[in-house]
Structure 1
Amino acid sequence: MRLCLLGDSIAAGVGSTRREDTLGPLLAARLRAAGHAVDLSVHAVPGARSADLRAQVRAAVASGVDIAVVVIGANDLTRFIPAHVGAQQLHDAVAELRLAGAEVVVSTAPDLSVVAHVPPALRDVVSAVSRDYAQVQQQAVIRAGGVVAHVERVVTPRFAADPSLFAADRFHPSAAGYREIVEALAPAVEAVATRHHA
Structure 2
Amino acid sequence: MSRMRGTRVLAAAAYYAGGVGVGVGGLVGLVKLEAYLARRTIGPADDGTADPDGVYAAELPGEPIRMLLIGDSSAAGYGMVDPLDTPAAMLASGLAHIAHRPVRVCSRAAVGARSAGLDRQIDRGLAEHPDVTIIVVGANDVTHGVRPVDAVHDLVASIRRLRETGSQVVVGTCPDLGTIRPLAPPLRQIARQLSRRLAAAQTGAVIAAGGHAVSLRDVLAMPFLLTPGELFGDDRFHPSLTGYAGIATAMLPVVARALGVWDDDEPVDLATVSA
- Report the TM-score, using the length of structure 1 for normalisation: 0.95
CA contact (8 A) 1:113 1:127 kept: yes
CA contact (8 A) 2:116 2:151 kept: yes
Gaps of 5+ in 2: 1-64, 263-275
Which shows bigger deviation, 88-97 or 56-65?
Answer: 56-65
**Of 54, 73, 80, which residue of structure 2 is paired with 1:16?**
80
Report how far residue 120 of structure 1 moved.
Answer: 2.6
**In structure 2, what is the equivalent of residue 33 of structure 1?**
97
**Of 212, 218, 222, which residue of structure 2 is paired with 1:157?**
222
Distance 1:92 1:45 in 2: 19
| CA deviation vs aligned residue, 1:139-162 (integer Å, no higher than 9, x gap) | 221121100012221111001111
**In structure 2, what is the equivalent of residue 133 of structure 1?**
198
**In structure 2, what is the equivalent of residue 170 of structure 1?**
236
Distance 1:53 1:193 in 2: 22
Following superposition of structure 1 onto structure 2, how do residues 31-180 of structure 1 map, counting pairs within 5 Å? Answer: 31-34=95-98, 35-162=100-227, 163-180=229-246
SS in structure 2 of the partner of residue 96 of structure 1: helix
Distance 2:176 2:71 in 1: 16
Distance 2:250 2:128 in 1: 27
| CA deviation vs aligned residue, 1:98-126 (integer Å, no higher than 9, x gap) | 00000000001111010011113233322
| CA deviation vs aligned residue, 1:149-186 (integer Å, no higher than 9, x gap) | 12221111001111221111111101011111111111
Distance 1:131 1:151 in 2: 10
Identity over the aligned pairs, expressed in percent? 36
* CA radius of gyration, larger in: 2
- Report the TM-score, using the length of structure 2 for normalisation: 0.69
Which shows bigger deviation, 28-37 or 73-82?
Answer: 28-37
SS in structure 1 of the partner of residue 122 of structure 2: helix
Report how far residue 195 of structure 1 moved.
Answer: 5.7
The reply on whether 1:191 has 2:251 as its aligned counterpart is no
Gaps of 5+ in 1: none
Report how far residue 21 of structure 1 moved.
Answer: 1.4
CA contact (8 A) 1:16 1:167 kept: no
| CA deviation vs aligned residue, 1:61-107 (integer Å, no higher than 9, x gap) | 22211100000001101101000000000000000000000000000
CA contact (8 A) 1:150 1:185 kept: no
Distance 1:8 1:82 in 2: 17
Kindly tell me the number of residue pairs found equivalent between the two proteins. Answer: 196
Which one-letter code corresponds to 2:167 in the other structure? A
Which one-letter code corresponds to 1:110 in the other structure? P
Point out the structure with the larger helix share.
1
CA contact (8 A) 2:180 2:188 kept: no
SS in structure 2 of the partner of residue 127 of structure 1: helix
SS in structure 2 of the partner of residue 27 of structure 1: helix
CA contact (8 A) 2:199 2:215 kept: no
CA contact (8 A) 1:8 1:44 kept: yes
CA contact (8 A) 1:49 1:72 kept: yes
